[in-house]
Structure 1
Amino acid sequence: MITRELAAEILAGKYRQTGRLPSEVQLVKRFGVSRPTIGQALRSLQDDGLVERRAGSGTYVRSGKDRSGESRSGSPQLGMIVPNLRQTEIFESICGELASLARVNDYGLWWGAATPPSSEIRMTVEEAEELCSRFIERGVAGVFFVPFEHQPDREAANRRITERLRQAGIPVVLIDRDIGAFPNRSELDLVGVDNFAGGYLLAQHLIKLGMKRLAYVMRPLTASTVDARIAGARIAMLDHGLEAPRKFVHAGDPTDLKFVRSFAQSHQLDAVLCTSDHIAAQLLQSLNRIGVRVPDDLRLVGFDNVRFASLLTIPLTSMEQPCRDIALTAFNALQERIANSSIPPRTLMVTPRLVVRESCGAYSHPI
């Protein structure tokens, strides 16, 4: 548990500014465990190639050029390309779990480029292609790839990266989303949550609370996973005798008050489903600023169940992504693909879980 959490923070760049992890005394206090337990966790991170321990100085994140994650001399290595790792909590958790699984199964995990990313927010396509070249040069056994989103050329970039790896004979397992638009599927293994079911269950939950006029809020150019969630929500409405309005999906910036007013102040909506908890949290702030109360005036739900979802001023109802299960399924899928390249492409979906809190109004309206 401690090793996975620290690995996720390292992968997300939390300690990049100084390169130094908290002292053992600080970690003992943070996790509430003994010093030998912390020492064991730090040794595991060192075995993973994520940190180096300097006598009399402390524990430091290994520099990019040394950060191969090679757990033992001669161990096979896996690669990982996660463009939005630093801004998406679920990918921090999934990558932390993958690092732990790699160590336990005697794999190295190569996850860093030779030079630090130009942005603290996300990896660029150029940086991902540089990392791809290093994977090919190093001859990694397989690669985990979370495809790009939120940019116009994302499909071309995703296909370019996966094709280079394929031509080099390196198996790829996609995590969370495919490289193209929903509902099309590439000839690559894909592991993620059942987004259609997640969208369906969230909409059904709201409908059972008496909500009939639903809408979906997303940012432009988002991932294909969101299309599956929207499709699930639409089918839930049809199954319950409701017609999804023509203007069901609203794409824009949830911090833009003009955009939020365009649908929230019309009094024609009962509830809003959001692409993610992050967008739901931003929307919650905007709704408060324009005088729309959640859940009294408008119900609100998110997706992912990240840590802050329960800490918002109005705790957020959300659909939880089981990150450990996703990581385990992806790791097993890549091992199987490495062992047998002739296996047909597979879509492996993990079941999401509804987490009910105040933002949907459930506590005042029995299901």
Structure 2
Amino acid sequence: MDSSPKHQVISRELTTEILAGKFRPGTRLPSETQLVKRFGVSRPTISHALRALQDEGLIERRPGSGTYVSAGKEGHSAKRLGGLQIGMIVPNLRQTEIFESICGELASLARVHDFGFWWGAKASPVSEAKMTVQEAEDLCDRFIEQEVAGVFFVPFEHQADREASNRRIASKLRQAGIPVVLLDRDLGAFPARSPFDLIGVDNFSGGYQLAEHLIKLGLRRLAYVVKPLTASTVEARIAGARIAMQTHGLEVPRKFVHAGDPGDLKFVRSITQGRQYDALLCTSDHIAALLLQSLNRLGMKVPDDLRVVGFDDVRFANLLTVPLTTMEQPCRDIAVTAFHALRDRLADPTLPPRTVMLTPRLVVRESCGAYLHPPVK
């Protein structure tokens, strides 16, 4: 769940919509009364959000007339770095909440610093459909034709040829002289590193913290639930959990990682039969939510019969039937760090490749059983 103040959440969402082209330059925004109804907040909160947009130069407030999208910066050149355009390749933008948040922040930062921001072939978000590798390569070619200054790239996952595809896309941009900043994960398997800047969260630490939290609650038999062909970020989380168990003198089960569909009852039954585990760590909140549904259908109660934790802290994590213990990803900090990394790369292409891993935060809720018994010391 986004823990930011409500006015910041609203201003970010409106910023994303403006930059995406939903509200064109010179057009009028919905009235404050309409925004109050849409977001379910007070008028002062809406006014606060609009003031933030006005301070950024995104909107103009005209007394007696309304609020309008500013036209002054449309097509404005970036004085600091020569009127540059920035591109973005994010395969699952509309299916992954953290990427929506990160990319919305990046778009806002680009606008504030007078950079053009290209979501796709046009300066607007990609469609709702999942992007294919071919579509990503076509988009890469368009970015090269348009001579964009740099590209933010979230590598593909959950497909057999993901590493080869990721390297092909990144190499094509590099050969064209276009800097690439990777978001969230690297091109290949953990712990290998590619020659590109990488900005993300410290997944090893996140996996360690989650496992240690469960261990301190007195749980000894842990396992990880993943989807097949997952990303290197997940491998880092699993590695962190393994080290946490070993550090606390626990034996890591031979079958520690279970890859499959958490919505498949047969798969979930194979993990839970015989009560062989005390807790299951999931690679994302989405997987944890599907697992909770399957466990409920199998008649298992969380956290009484089994503990479950996720990763990401998406909006619905606190709204599930059993609120989810998870690791919060600092999306805004990731976006700010990635944006400055690209600006540094543009200013000095000779800089060595950098990896910046930001610290995730443990969010404790009911699914881990922390409120059933006092922690073990």
Change (3 A) 1:330 1:361: same
1:360 is the counterpart of 2:364 = no
**Does the 8 Å CA contact 1:277/1:304 hold for their aligned counterparts?**
yes
1:229 is the counterpart of 2:237 = yes
Report the Cα offset of residue 39 of structure 1: 6.0
**Does the 8 Å CA contact 1:200/1:233 hold for their aligned counterparts?**
yes
Tell me, in whole angstroms, the C-alpha distance in 2 between the residues paired with 1:132 and 1:114.
Answer: 12
What is the one-letter code of the residue matched to 1:188? F
Please give the residue correspondences for 1:275-314 in structure 2 after superposition, counting only pairs within 5 Å. Answer: 275-314=283-322
**Does the 8 Å CA contact 2:15/2:53 hold for their aligned counterparts?**
no
Tell me, in whole angstroms, the C-alpha distance in 2 between the residues paired with 1:319 and 1:249.
Answer: 19
State the SS of the aligned residue for 1:250.
Answer: strand
State the SS of the aligned residue for 1:272.
Answer: strand
Which moved further from structure 2: 294-303 or 261-270?
A: 261-270
Please give the residue correspondences for 1:25-64 in structure 2 after superposition, counting only pairs within 5 Å. Answer: 25-29=33-37, 30=39, 31-33=41-43
Task: Structure 1: give runs of 5+ residues left out of the alignment.
Answer: 49-55, 61-68
1:213 is the counterpart of 2:221 = yes
What is the one-letter code of the residue matched to 2:30? S
Report the Cα offset of residue 47 of structure 1: 5.0
Change (3 A) 1:121 1:361: farther
> For this pair of structures, how many residues does the alignment match?
347
What is the one-letter code of the residue matched to 1:168? A
**Does the 8 Å CA contact 1:280/1:302 hold for their aligned counterparts?**
yes
What is the one-letter code of the residue matched to 1:308? F
Change (3 A) 1:171 1:107: same
Change (3 A) 1:288 1:59: farther
State the SS of the aligned residue for 2:223.
Answer: strand
State the SS of the aligned residue for 2:198.
Answer: strand
Q: Which residue of 2 aligns with 1:72?
A: 76
Q: Which residue of 1 aligns with 2:120?
A: 112
1:250 is the counterpart of 2:250 = no
Change (3 A) 1:214 1:111: same
Change (3 A) 1:117 1:12: closer
Change (3 A) 1:234 1:12: farther
Tell me, in whole angstroms, the C-alpha distance in 1 between the residues paired with 2:101 and 2:160.
Answer: 27
Q: 2:206 aligns with which of 195, 198, 204?
A: 198
State the SS of the aligned residue for 1:179.
Answer: coil
Change (3 A) 1:298 1:289: same
Report the Cα offset of residue 71 of structure 1: 5.7
Residues 165-213 of structure 1: CA deviation (Å, up to 9, x unaligned): 1011111100000011111110000000000000000000000001000
**Does the 8 Å CA contact 1:27/1:38 hold for their aligned counterparts?**
no
1:23 is the counterpart of 2:27 = no
TM-score scaled by length of structure 1: 0.87
TM-score scaled by length of structure 2: 0.84
**Does the 8 Å CA contact 1:295/1:360 hold for their aligned counterparts?**
yes
State the SS of the aligned residue for 1:113.
Answer: coil
Report the Cα offset of residue 127 of structure 1: 1.6
Change (3 A) 1:220 1:119: farther
Change (3 A) 1:328 1:246: same
Which moved further from structure 2: 156-165 or 39-48?
A: 39-48
Please give the residue correspondences for 1:117-266 in structure 2 after superposition, counting only pairs within 5 Å. Answer: 120-266=128-274
**Does the 8 Å CA contact 2:19/2:124 hold for their aligned counterparts?**
no
Report the Cα offset of residue 121 of structure 1: 3.9
**Does the 8 Å CA contact 2:117/2:123 hold for their aligned counterparts?**
no
Q: Percent identity?
A: 70
Q: Which residue of 2 aligns with 1:321?
A: 329
Residues 129-170 of structure 1: CA deviation (Å, up to 9, x unaligned): 122122112211111111111111111111111111101111
What is the one-letter code of the residue matched to 1:105? H
Change (3 A) 1:46 1:157: farther
Tell me, in whole angstroms, the C-alpha distance in 1 between the residues paired with 2:28 and 2:167.
Answer: 37
Report the Cα offset of residue 3 of structure 1: 3.2
Tell me, in whole angstroms, the C-alpha distance in 2 between the residues paired with 1:123 and 1:41.
Answer: 33
Tell me, in whole angstroms, the C-alpha distance in 1 between the residues paired with 2:352 and 2:339.
Answer: 17
Report the Cα offset of residue 4 of structure 1: 1.4
**Does the 8 Å CA contact 1:117/1:123 hold for their aligned counterparts?**
no
Q: Aligned-residue CA RMSD in angstroms?
A: 2.9
